């Protein structure tokens, strides 16, 4: 994949991610104090968080593959690789890895999901995903800029 194709793919995924995050937050806002008992809004919000996380994982893996940094065996490892290559500070790597953990619980152990924690994640933790998208987009633009003579 050339640099332009990478930028286009990352931009499309970042846009979809933003829509998912906005939708999750809108469902939380609309449910208000009843989020824990509003199963329809919970499902819509959590599904959009899952999608946003999967888009972040896809973006990380695309960027890693483009730069030929290896083949991560897991999403957690993909984010760690971005940290090892100084794209992300350690605390952001950890925040993204926690998001993967949250996503895994939502996907595989939905009944174990604490809705107070889910609401806090939706309200306060999804910015880690948008920060990742911004970094990857900026770095893909920087790496494709023509070098000055």
Residue 103 annotated to the active site: yes
Q: Which of 85, 98, 108, 124 is catalytic?
A: 108
Mean pLDDT of 9-32: 98
Q: Could you report the per-residue pLDDT of 81-130, keeping only the tens digit for each?
A: 999 999 999 999 999 999 999 999 999 987 889 999 999 999 999 999 99
How far is residue 76's CA from residue 119's CA, in Å, rounded to a whole number?
22
Domain ranges of the chain: 3-144
Q: Residue 57 in contact with residue 100, Cβ under 8 Å?
A: yes
pLDDT of residue 149: 42
122 sits in which H/E element: helix 115-124
The pLDDT of residue 111 is 83
Position 148 pLDDT exceeds 80 = no
Residue % of the chain over a pLDDT of 70: 96
Instruction: Please tell me the distance from the alpha carbon of residue 80 to that of residue 97, in angstroms, as a whole number.
Output: 8
Residue 34 known to be catalytic:
no
| Helix (H) / strand (E) containing 3 | helix 3-31
Please give the CATH number for the structural domain made up of 3-144.
1.20.120.580
* Distance separating alpha carbons of residues 70 and 19, to the nearest angstrom: 30
Catalytic residue among 103, 124, 125, 139: 103
Give pLDDT, residue 144: 63
Q: What is the mean pLDDT of residues 13-38?
A: 98
């Amino acid at each position: 994949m050339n640099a332009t194709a990478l930028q286009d793919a990352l931009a499309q995924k970042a846009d979809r991610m933003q829509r998912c995050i906005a939708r999750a937050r809108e469902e939380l806002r609309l449910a208000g104090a009843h989020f824990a008992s509003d199963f329809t809004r919970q499902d819509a919000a959590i599904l959009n968080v899952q999608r946003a996380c999967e888009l972040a994982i896809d973006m990380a893996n695309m960027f890693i593959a483009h730069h030929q940094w290896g083949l991560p065996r897991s999403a957690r490892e993909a984010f760690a690789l971005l940290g090892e290559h100084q794209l992300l500070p350690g605390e952001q790597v950890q925040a993204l890895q926690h998001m993967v953990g949250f996503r895994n619980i939502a996907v595989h152990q939905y009944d174990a999901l604490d809705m107070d924690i889910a609401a806090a994640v939706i309200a306060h933790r999804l910015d880690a995903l948008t920060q990742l998208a911004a970094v990857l987009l900026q770095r893909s633009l920087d790496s494709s800029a023509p070098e000055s003579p």
